[in-house]
Amino acid sequence: MEYLYAVAAFGSIVVILSAGLIVAERFLVNYGICKLDINAGEKPLELEGGRTLLASLYANEIFIPSACGGKGSCGHCKITVNSGGGPVLPTETPYLTRQEVRANVRLACQVKIREDIYVRIPEELLNVKLFTATVESTKDLTYDIKEIRFRLNDPDEISQRPGQYVQIQAPSPDGDVFRAYSISSPAYEKNIVELNVRIVPGGIGSTYLHNLNEGDPVVFTGPYGEFVMNEDPSVEIVCVGGGCGMAPMNNIIHTIYDRWPDRTCWLFFGCRGTQDIFYLDEFKALAEKHPNFHVVYALSDKLGEGEVWDGETGFIHLAADKNLEAGVPRQAFLCGPPLMIEAVTRVLEDKGILPEDIFYDEF
Ligand SMILES: Cc1cc2nc3c(=O)[nH]c(=O)nc-3n(C[C@H](O)[C@H](O)[C@H](O)COP(=O)(O)OP(=O)(O)OC[C@H]3O[C@@H](n4cnc5c(N)ncnc54)[C@H](O)[C@@H]3O)c2cc1C
Ligand code: FES
């Protein structure tokens, strides 16, 4: 018992000291004006020290991807800090490979500006913009997924690659937060950004989006993301998604058939039950017009009484395994939960798709 008291007392002292240090740093330490140098003089900035690198860049309209809103839990805000970033923190190491640490890659949300700091930011990220838009329509796709369509105001056009995402600004009791959502509308709809949003009970971003009504204003940054489609139409495209992982697939497929009406593309979409099915009729209609488009939906749960289903059953990686021949030049785009991505990746690699031709976003 005495031992437990001692541990509890020690724990309390550590918490109090840590809180004291945070408060002291916040209110007493003045780092003064620090220099923030981007890409060796390309964009020199001067700013008040003491904030995170992510927040300081945002304040200067440089929008680094930050899917978790700066909580240090997504690993998306990686940039190279050549000097002035201090040592790598334990909160960063789970997201950095040894190679990245050696190359001075850091999580911008964990690095605090305390002195002059020198960073490298890829050109593409310097071109990310802040958009204002208006909700044009909202529609229930399933019991938990909504399609939300925005018309852009300022700027009034977006240049996106299919598979990219935006970060929506959502209000929270602790101030505004950002959450990542893939763009579901095709790249040729330049004035529109459409999303498929699954509600997470109690979730800040998804609840905010589900409560939006026609005419409401929204703010977001983007586009972000590493998906790059092979421009050679002889390379087949394989899209695999589950749940709201449909959004980037919808964008990719409509963009493909706008540009290459004869290109071969496979869509594998995993659902638990019939209640999770959406866009199937639209894709069947598209496949009628484009015979090289193959649509495969699979249900993983048993059918309920009286339910009828003539598509695939079982997990979606099994449907991909069954339908795809090996040895065909292909590129693949996957979106969904980590276990699905892992299982599908194994199948696709067995079919001969190279790891560098498999792009994925886990969510
Ligand atoms: C690149 C990328 C693209 C994405 N695209 C989409 C998209 O197109 N559509 C979409 O709906 N979402 C998408 N997401 C997920 C989205 O960014 C949010 O993480 C999700 O909407 C939850 O945010 P929230 O603010 O509602 O919940 P939070 O307020 O962040 O979390 C509330 C609680 O729910 C838990 N939680 C968070 N996420 C989940 C989850 N997925 N399932 C169960 N519990 C959870 C948290 O741990 C927390 O306890 C994407 C994520 C990434 C990284
Ligand atoms: S913003 Fe998510 S880890 Fe930095």
- If residue 248 lies in a helix (H) or strand (E), which one and from where to where? helix 246-259
4-35 per-position pLDDT tens digit: 666 666 656 655 555 555 555 555 566 789 99
Tallying the residues shown for the chain, one arrives at: 363
Residue 13 confidence (pLDDT): 62
Residue 213 confidence (pLDDT): 98
Point out the least confidently predicted range of 64-73, 130-139, 208-217, 220-229: 64-73
Residue 47 confidence (pLDDT): 87
Residue 29 confidence (pLDDT): 61
Instruction: Please give the distance, rounded to the nearest whole angstrom, from the Cα atom of residue 279 to the centre of ligand 1.
Output: 21
Residue 87 confidence (pLDDT): 94
Residues in a beta bridge with 265: 237, 293
Taking the domains of the chain in order of start, what are their residue ranges?
Answer: 30-125, 128-224, 236-362
Average of pLDDT values for 335-356?
95
In CATH, what number does 30-125 get?
A: 3.10.20.30
Residue 10 confidence (pLDDT): 60
* DSSP label at residue 71: S
Asked if 308 and 292 count as a contact pair (C-beta separation under 8 A), the reply is no
Task: Share the mean pLDDT of the chain.
Answer: 92
Residue 164 Cβ contacting ligand 1 at under 6 Å = no
Nearest-10 Cα torsion for 116, 121, 125, 128: 20
Instruction: Please give the distance, rounded to the nearest whole angstrom, from the Cα atom of residue 320 to the centre of ligand 1.
Output: 26
Instruction: Please give the distance, rounded to the nearest whole angstrom, from the Cα atom of residue 253 to the centre of ligand 1.
Output: 24
Domain 236-362 class, CATH top level: alpha beta
> What kind of fold does domain 128-224 have according to CATH?
Elongation Factor Tu (Ef-tu); domain 3 (2.40.30)
**Amino acid code (one letter) for 12:** S
How many degrees, rounded to 5, is the angle at CA 173 between CA 167 and CA 179?
15
Whether a cis peptide bond, with omega within 30° of 0, leads into 337 is: no
56-109 per-position pLDDT tens digit: 999 999 999 998 888 899 899 999 999 999 999 999 999 999 999 999 999 999
Tell me the three state secondary structure of residue 325.
coil
Predicted complex ipTM: 0.94
Residue 231 confidence (pLDDT): 95
Residue 314 confidence (pLDDT): 95
Round to whole Å and give the CA distance between 3 and 200.
Answer: 41
